[in-house]
Amino acid sequence: MSLRKRFDREKFLAVINRDSFYLVLFLCLVLLATTAIWVTRNNLRFFSENDMYPGEGEILEDYQIEELPDAEEEQAVRTGTGETAQEDAKPLDGAGENTGKTAEQESANKTTGSTGQQDPITTSQPQNSAAAQERMIMPLVGKVIVDFGKDSLVYSKTLEQWTTHYGIDIAAKVGTPVKAVLSGTVTKIETDPLLGIMITIDHGGGLQTRYANLQNNNMVKEGQYVEKGKVISGVGTSAEFEIGDEPHLHFEVLKNGEHQNPKLYLPNM
């Protein structure tokens, strides 16, 4: 009888030891996850509570952005009043006397009884391309501090890890005016939990632009049509997702709902 009791006791201890191992492992994982969450919240709280950028709340009125000329203006400058293009389009005298005719041209002349005179050369003005119609100005002047990373990863100072980034971050002082890069209709004004105050403008043809980490949301309203170059807000520090970076504008470009690299649309990029 004592031998059976001894066997049952040893079996019980073995079960306890095995279960204790899994219990300790589970507690370690819980402790690790809790520590990670605590560190991340403390980092966000530190950046939020410390006034890192004095002067926030005032838009810099004396900040100006030099707008690039429109495609029509550049065309007018390039051709003057259009006389240069017309002069270039005039036919050359004696063009029908060239001796370098091809066999096909000679055959056509014999068939139609051509006198050797050549039709005047005509040129047509090319239609504006989609790129010209979508020509943007800079929303503000500054250095790109975080690049576009849709299919690749960029490093986040706030999260201290590599992550995707669907726009570009342009550094500027807090309060720097942010301008609409193209004319369009304000379709959405929101406060994103990660990117802060954000304004979306629809420019037609499936093209949209987004401006985030803004200072305020009361300079324009939803449904309002804004001209290219109109100030819609100022640079702020409302994006908790990027609060570890220096003050900047988070700028996105979307075509038919798909994020595009803004550098392909902005000038001098």
Specify the pLDDT at position 189.
97
Query: Using an 8 Å Cβ cutoff, are 198 and 251 in contact?
Result: no
> pLDDT tens, 33-70?
777 676 666 655 555 555 444 444 455 544 444 444 44
Q: How does DSSP classify residue 125?
A: P
| Whole-number Å distance between alpha carbons of 208 and 219 | 19
Specify the pLDDT at position 260.
95
Q: For residue 209, what are its two tokens?
A: 């632009």
Q: Give first-to-last CA distance, the chain, whole Å.
A: 88
> pLDDT tens, 9-34?
676 667 666 677 777 888 888 777 77
Q: Which domains does the chain have, with CATH numbers?
A: 75-129 (no CATH), 135-264 (2.70.70.10)
Specify the pLDDT at position 166.
87
Positive or negative, the CA dihedral 75, 77, 82, 88 is negative
Specify the pLDDT at position 88.
44
Q: Which residues of the chain have pLDDT under 50?
A: 51-57, 61-104, 107-130, 132-133
Largest CA distance in the chain: 131
Positive or negative, the CA dihedral 189, 194, 196, 202 is negative
Query: Using an 8 Å Cβ cutoff, are 208 and 254 in contact?
Result: yes
Specify the pLDDT at position 29.
82
